[in-house]
Amino acid sequence: MINRQKAVLLALAMLTGLVAAPPPLSPTAMVASRDGKSLWIACATSNEVVEFQIETGKIVHRVALPGAPSGLAQSQDGARLYVTLPASVSQVAVVDTKDARVIDKLTAGHTSAAPVLSLDGKLLYVANRFNNDISVLELSSRRELRRIAVEREPVAAAITRDGRRLLVANHLPAGRADAAYVAATISVLDLVAGKQERTLRLPNGAGSVMDVRLSPDGRYAAVAHVLSRHQLPTTQLERGWMNTNGFTLIDVQAMAVINTFLLDGPLDGAANPWAIAWTEDSSKLIVTHAGAHEVSITDIPALLTKYARIAPQATPGTTAEAVSVSETRAEVSNDLSFLTGLRQTIPLGESDRGPRSVAVVGGRIYAANYFSDTLAVFEMAAMQNQPQSVALGPKPQPGLIRQGEEHFHDASLCMQHWQSCATCHPGNARVDGFNWDLLNDGIGNPKNTKNMLLSHKTPPAMSLGVRETAETAVRSGFLHIQYTRPPGSVTAAVDAYLNSLQPVPSPLLVNGELSAAAKRGREIYESKAVGCAVCHPAGLFTNMQPYDVGTASRGDKADEKFDTPTLVEVWRTAPYLHDGSAVTMRDVLTVRNRKDRHGKTSQLTPRQLDDLIAYILSL
């Protein structure tokens, strides 16, 4: 009775403003204890990892952390948790699960995630997202043994059953956005040799990769990602015209991509596939749809049986067996009906929003919901029933910025749930690496996705400045890209969220400061002889004026003027220029600047050019 009275008094105090509402938990990663009795849940906003006891349905331990956790790994005996804490110089907290306390900290690279233990428990592999590499940490000595380079923004990893290879999911495509083939990749690392062995290309348009998981039998790996139709003009949204959502299945023994399978229905998108889990017998693949607030379960043996009956390629003069709309395997990744009868999709209730992690324990599926601080619990034996919603803490009382973050990631605001704002602007409203032929400036002139950081402070919006302000662009985006018109409270909250974004420090900084090369580069940048600072003055690093700098490409008018973008955080937004034709900053200043109209750089020596680039990429 006393506890109930205290709860009522606390609630009244919160309502009257006498006591601030507790911060949300924001569950972002989850792992089941080895005995199957608990779930350890990383909570990104409350800076803690909590132990949720399955039998009682309550949190029994809380471990405060010196930062926001992003990923979890558990030792074979269950005695230790390894928790990545992303920062410019990241930490990995070592948690004693019995005493529920941090007992050690290791050091990793820039924005750590996806910790994976070696099979013997001696090494820990950590993805350094903005260093584009993997740290190999020796636990006994607490030393980093080496770094292994990967493609771009590693965010998830899985180790093969023999312990010899690590599959690393790269979040974004690398390379030109105006190429015929643009897609993210899976890096396959040879852990014995300590180097990348090969790269598996996902299908054209694959991006926003969020997870990779191996089946318990070790035969398959599944990768969750968006599949963008970036080479089509955005004249419609229905039937996956802009973005579809699915998973790619990999044959681990052959280390080869089998195919990509769409999780969407013909008229209902499964926006933003996020986390993956397998049942213990490797028969079912579970995927959370973070934007559509759903969980799907796919029958993998049935999928493989159906797929095996489809012709590898068309044979003239023959009739394909009528097992699928797809007559050849090349068509499967475009087939919205292929998983019909093989996939069950379970919508979450209104109290479960933003499922971003998932675990399977004892015949149940647990999906942790980022925006509602809840667990959605499914009984595998009765999947037709509504999942149970279990609160992990008090119901969140989000402020305007938090509401905007949720709306930005919410595909229920989109016609047929195909995409959210975050689909084309993942990574907290940044870039997806694709060109899009939006209708705001005509058809046939695709533009590279822009970083939304500082967008409200650096009008106009869009490469051609066709939106006078970012506020106008937000509302036009909902109307012309998501084909809806949400209430003003939604768009105002999205404005607040975008306005709250802060730059991430560049990985080129040394202890938070410019390197010696970057300091030399700053002098070159600010010199009148080169002229960079004329259009990109310090502060916002843009004068917000349009110019014709000779970068027009096919589909553009010959004398087209383009908005001057901010250079803040330009280190993470490649490829560059309005058409994504420059892979590196060196390309911007050399091959795409032949007549010195984009800064007088042709007279610079190789070292001066290196220094200038070092400065620009440090902003």
Q: What is the mean pLDDT of residues 530-544?
A: 96
Query: CA 383 to CA 420: how far, in whole Å?
Result: 27
Residue 511 in any domain: the answer is: no
Quick one: average pLDDT of 78-106? 97
Q: What is the pLDDT of residues 442-461, one digit of tens each?
A: 889 999 999 999 999 999 99
In a domain, 546, yes or no: yes
- For residues 509 and 519, the answer to whether their CB atoms sit within 8 Å is no
Element (H, E) at 355: strand 355-361
Alpha-carbon span 309 to 324, nearest angstrom:
9
Q: Is residue 321, in this structure, part of any structural domain at all?
A: no
Last residue of a domain, one of 449, 465, 500: 500
Asked whether residue 166 is domain-assigned, the answer is no
Residue-wise pLDDT tens digits, 371-420: 999 999 999 887 777 899 999 999 999 999 999 999 999 999 999 999 99
Residues 468 and 523 in one domain: no
In this prediction, residue 22 has a pLDDT band, given cuts at 50, 70 and 90, of confident
pLDDT of residue 314: 72
With respect to residue 356, please indicate whether it lies within any of the assigned structural domains: no
Q: Residue 316 has what pLDDT?
A: 65
Q: Could you tell me the CATH number of the domain that includes residue 572?
A: 1.10.760.10
More confident residue, 18 or 605: 605
Answer yes or no: is pLDDT of 70 > 80.
yes
Same domain assignment for residues 446 and 525: no
373 three-class SS = coil
CATH of the domain at 62: 2.130.10.10
Is residue 14 predicted with pLDDT exceeding 70? no
The rounded mean pLDDT for the chain is 94
What does the angle CA 358 – CA 361 – CA 363 come to, to the nearest 5 degrees?
Answer: 110
**What would the two tokens of residue 142 be?**
């607490």
Q: Is the pLDDT of residue 10 over 50?
A: no
**C-alpha to C-alpha distance for 384 and 364, rounded to whole angstroms:** 13
Angle between helices 606-616 and 516-526 (to 10 degrees): 90
Which structural domain range is residue 79 located in?
Answer: 24-149
Say which amino acid occupies 410: D
Beta carbons of 365 and 380 less than 8 angstroms apart: yes
User: In whole angstroms, what is the distance from residue 363 CA to residue 332 CA?
Assistant: 31
Are both 32 and 135 inside the same structural domain?
A: yes
Determine which helix (DSSP H) or strand (DSSP E) holds 16, and give its type and residue range: none
Q: Please answer whether residues 561 and 555 qualify as being in contact, where contact means their C-beta atoms are separated by less than 8 angstroms.
A: no
Whether the CB-CB separation of 49 and 101 falls below 8 Å is answered with no
pLDDT of residue 9: 44
Based on the structure, what is the number of domains in the chain? 3
Instruction: Give the pLDDT confidence score for residue 272 in this predicted structure.
Output: 98
Give the per-residue pLDDT at 382: 77
Q: Are residues 444 and 556 in the same domain?
A: no
Q: Which of 80, 114, 149 is the last residue of a domain?
A: 149
Cβ burial of 605 (10 Å; 0-12, 13-18, 19+) is: exposed
Query: Torsion over CA of 314, 318, 320 and 325, rounded to 10 degrees?
Result: 60
Same domain, 420 and 532: no
Q: What is the pLDDT of residues 114-132, one digit of tens each?
A: 999 999 999 999 999 999 9
Position 538 in a domain? yes
Task: Tell which of 92, 119, 149 closes a domain.
Answer: 149
The answer to whether residue 318 scores a pLDDT higher than 90 is no
> Does residue 545 surpass a pLDDT of 80?
yes
| Secondary structure (H, E, C), 406-458 | HHHCCHHHCHHHCCCHHHHCHHHHCCCCCEEECCECECCCCEECCCCCCCCCC
Is 111 part of any domain? yes
Report the pLDDT value the prediction gives residue 186, as an integer from 0 to 100. 98
Q: Are 514 and 613 in contact (CB under 8 A)?
A: no
Q: For residues 86 and 41, state if they share a domain.
A: yes
Q: pLDDT tier at 579 (50, 70, 90 boundaries)?
A: very high
* pLDDT tens profile 505-524: 999 999 999 999 999 999 99
The yes-or-no verdict on residue 600 having pLDDT over 80 is yes
Q: Are residues 526 and 495 in the same domain?
A: no
- The answer on 129 and 39 residing in a single domain is yes
Tally of CB atoms within 10 A around 87:
17
The distance from CA 390 to its chain's CA centroid, rounded to whole angstroms, is 26
Q: Count CB-CB contacts under 10 A for residue 212.
A: 26
Rounded percentage of the chain residues whose pLDDT exceeds 90: 90
Residues 537-557: what's their mean pLDDT?
93
Q: What is the pLDDT of residue 322?
A: 54
462-471 pLDDT tens trace: 999 999 999 9
Tell me: pLDDT of 536 over 70: yes
Local structure of 317: helix, strand or coil: coil
CB count in 10 Å sphere of residue 338: 25
pTM here?
A: 0.94
Per-residue pLDDT reduced to its tens digit, 278-302: 999 999 999 999 999 999 999 999 9
| Paired tokens of 14 | 């919160």
- Domain check: are 474 and 530 in the same one? no
Rounded mean pLDDT of 242-247? 98
What is the signed CA dihedral for 214, 391, 208, 498, rounded to 10 degrees?
-160
Is the pLDDT at 3 greater than 50? The verdict is no
| pLDDT of the residue at 385 | 74
| Residue 17 confidence (pLDDT) above 50 | no
- Same domain assignment for residues 478 and 534: no
Domain for residue 556, yes or no?
Answer: yes
Q: What is the DSSP string of 83-152?
A: EEE-SSS-EEEEEETTTTEEEEEEE--SSEEEEEE-TTSSEEEEEETTTTEEEEEETTTTEEEEEEE-SS
- Mark whether 459 and 526 lie in a shared domain: no
Q: Which residues contact 456 (CB under 8 A, 6 or more apart)?
A: 469, 470, 471, 495, 498, 499
Looking at residue 15, its pLDDT comes to 44
Whether 478 and 530 map to the same domain: the answer is no
